[in-house]
A and B are shown apart, each in its own frame.
Chain A
Amino acid sequence: GSSFNFGAYHRLETIYSWMDTLVSEYSTLVTKLEIGRSYENRPMYVLKFSKGGNKPAIWIDTGIHSREWVSQATGVWTANKIATDYGRDASLASLLDNMDIYMLILANPDGYDYTHNNNRMWRKTRSENPGSMCRGVDPNRNWDAGFGGPGASSNPCSDSYHGPSAHSEIEVKNVVNFIKNHGNFKSFISVHAYSQLLMYPYGYSCKNAAHQAELDAIGTAAVKKLTSLHGTRYKVGSICNIIYQASGGSIDWSYDEGIKYSFAFELRDTGNSGFLLPPTQIIPTASETWLALKHIMEYVRDHPY
């Protein structure tokens, strides 16, 4: 594990192999669960950070859009951070006394592999669309939350194609099943890149979520901590209000499922790199994101519901 370079981008196999190393090095804290298989039959692994038992839990997924490489890289760094800081960070210890953390680092394994081997700019899943030459569904338009509404395309060739039906994508369905079977998630955080935003529901509608004020206050405080490290400036707000109306998104689904603390990050591109953020930016990005993530997780711990 000590030889792993967290400041580099890695292929899917390397990340999966590193997960095994992490699990073996921190076997009393970290376990690896397979929550299902992707369309192309790749395993989908969740890292569970737990001191035992089945506690209320926090969900973090990274890289549902495969080309947003800094997201997956941040996921790897973050998982390592949780494992290495546990035992020397009292707040993290207290968090894990009360809650479990589940991390899905490669939320779209087929897409991620495709970005490495075929098309670096691929965003969607790799499922075939009957009757179309174009493949893939935008997995963040495929959730049962205003499915098929504004801000999603019905064209299979579009990068925001919503798919034939809600949860049609096995990668989405696997997460839905896992979250529902667990039944006690209190927070759902999805990590994207690159326009420096921290968002909360809704995206499918521009109406205020019932907990809008609380979510906004949490997001604002989290971003203040994030900004304190390198000065990266974020905007905070509902998806609809700070980007655009987008239906079928994951955090809208989780929120409507009763997971109040649902957030989506858009990590940094403070330069002019977009999806090609240089690897030198991975650790600064992950480090600042950690401050915001930790704030949200601590808040969730301190505000049981």
Chain B
Amino acid sequence: ERLFIGDQVIRINAESEEQIKLLQALETREELELDFWLSPVSMELPVDIRVPSSSLSSVSEILNANNIAYSVLINDLQERLDEEKFEMMENHIKERS
């Protein structure tokens, strides 16, 4: 099973077309293995990106260098997944009983 330990989901509210274009370019950077939950489209919509732990520092550097502010939605994706799985297991046990 794939684990997502240390992966973060970050949100960016792009402030210019230039920033949108830069984020679109990030989408094509395969080596970063970014998973765009919400793609960069316009300044009206947020951009959510799951960033693997191995790419966190690179992405942070790129964003900072381009003055793109971001917030962290999910600090450690695996923690959320563990919670989700635990809850499912509990429900399953309840239903069986």
Contacts and interface: CB of A to CB of B under 8 A. Distances in A.
A275 B7 CA distance: 14
B14 to A, nearest CB: 13
Contacts of B35: 121, 159
A14 B80 CA distance: 22
A159 B38 CA distance: 12
A273 B81 CA distance: 11
Contacts of A14: 92
Contacts of A9: 84, 87-88
A31 B57 CA distance: 53
A275 B87 contact: no
B44 to A, nearest CB: 9
A276 B74 contact: yes
B46 to A, nearest CB: 9
B11 A195 contact: no
Contacts of B9: 274
Contact of B91 (A8, A119, A159, A272): A8
A243 interface: yes
Contact of A121 (B39, B48, B50): B50
A-B pairs, top 10 by smallest CB distance, nearest first, are A8-B91, A272-B73, A119-B2, A244-B41, A274-B37, A276-B80, A5-B91, A120-B81, A9-B88, A3-B95
Interface of B: 1-2, 4, 9, 11, 30, 35-39, 41, 45, 48, 50, 73-74, 77, 80-81, 84, 87-88, 91-92, 94-95
Given A118-B2, A272-B74, A279-B87, 16 more contacts: A5-B95, A9-B87, A9-B88, A121-B2, A121-B4, A159-B36, A194-B37, A195-B45, A244-B39, A272-B73, A273-B73, A273-B74, A273-B80, A274-B9, A276-B74, A276-B80
